Amino acid sequence: MGKIKTTIIKVSKQNPEKNLIAKGANIIKSGGLVAFPTETVYGLGADGLNEEAVKKIFLAKGRPQDNPLILHVADKEQVYPLVKSISKEAQRLMESFWPGPLTLLFKRSSLVPNCITAGLDTVAIRMPNHPIALALIQASDVPIAAPSANTSGKPSPTLASHVIEDLNGKIHMIIDGGKTGIGVESTVLDLSGDKPLILRPGGVTLEELREHLPYVEEDLSLIKDDKDIVPKSPGQKYKHYAPKGEMYLFVGSVDNMVQAIEEYANRYIHMGKKVGIMATEETKAKYKEGIILSLGSRENKEEIAQNLFSTLRMFDEKDVDIILAEGIDFKDIGMAIMNRMKKAAGGNIIKV
């Protein structure tokens, strides 16, 4: 892929400037790539109905072809031409959670290019809750295909600087709208089977979904560490969100985690390794050696979600060889946070 000149523009989140949004929309309409903020993470957008444009997303990210993309719409009406039908259940969820971090799977219509769905008969759609994202989709007048705007395998971007780091020279425009809100990606929900299934935990929690869908469960591949269970969401099978350093995720009581991390840190430092510790406000003062970064307070998991990916990238900047990370509890947004941490650790999980 030849080098592309990437235009970087700052746009107001509260009041997206129409003339600037129009520039982004023109790029989308002419088949180019525009990164933009959403309420979850930054997305890398292309015209979702233009096969050639969508292929550029895979190239720029180095994304495997068999990992399907989410289509982003600016209103519910935009869903109809993309799908075979919308069930009552889906309609109710769209009313309750859109705009917001809930992605729903629908049987696709023939309008949706194959490369969006990676050959599956379902298409994933959501309506983001971010003024810039909504303005860009509206002005482009097409559904926008947008995976996270990072190089495949790396932590997702929550700041425009993360996108610049990964994609400068590979895409046409980056819209800088400041820090994203939630910090982890959307929840992917499959309503096509006997039971509603969460294929990827995310910004909408299991507890919130259960208020509307009492029987919703997580896909087995998310619960069991069994390698033989194939995830229904192709993206879940890849190494993901991974920093350059080798990460170990500790799970157990806070005291046990702190003690084990101290022991591991001491051992690795004696081996001459540069060690990072991913701690929390409650524990950060307890460590005596290593590069200690706090994700935020255990009492405020929303804050931890917001800081997770940027903290992983900070460890990269500091060039640590080893990252020792404290786990957090699985309740509410904790489920999405732990899903990302487990993937970042690539299976290095230490129960203490």
Q: Is 39 in the site for ligand AMP (CB under 6 A)?
A: no
Contact indicator for 168, 25 with CB cutoff of 8 Å: no
Say whether 324 sits in a helix, a strand or coil: strand
What DSSP string runs through 12-46?
-SSS--HHHHHHHHHHHHTT--EEEE-SSSEEEEE
Q: Is 68 in the site for ligand AMP (CB under 6 A)?
A: yes
Dihedral (CA of 191, 108, 170, 11) sign: negative
Q: In this chain, which of 140, 236, 283, 307 binds ligand AMP, going by CB under 6 A?
A: 236
Q: In this chain, which of 38, 148, 283, 294 binds Mg ion, going by CB under 5 A?
A: 148
The residue whose Cβ lies closest to Mg ion is: 148
Options 114-122, 249-257, 259-267, 307-315: segment touching ligand AMP (CB under 6 A): 114-122
Q: How far is the CB of 317 from ligand AMP (least distance, A)?
A: 23
What is the Cα–Cα distance from 68 to 266, expressed in whole angstroms? 42
Options 24-32, 121-129, 175-183, 215-223: segment touching ligand AMP (CB under 6 A): 121-129
DSSP 229: S
Residues β-bridged to residue 148: 43
Q: How far is the CB of 234 from ligand AMP (least distance, A)?
A: 4
Q: Give phi and psi for 187, each to the nearest 5.
A: -80, 130
Classify strands 34-37 and 42-47 as parallel, antiparallel or unpaired. Answer: antiparallel
Q: Is 209 in the site for ligand AMP (CB under 6 A)?
A: no
- Of the two residues 188 and 279, which places its CB atom closer to ligand AMP in the complex? 188
Q: Which residues make up the interface to ligand AMP (CB under 6 A)?
A: 67-68, 70, 105, 117, 120, 122-124, 147-148, 185, 188, 199-200, 232-236
Residues that bind Mg ion (CB under 5 A): 148
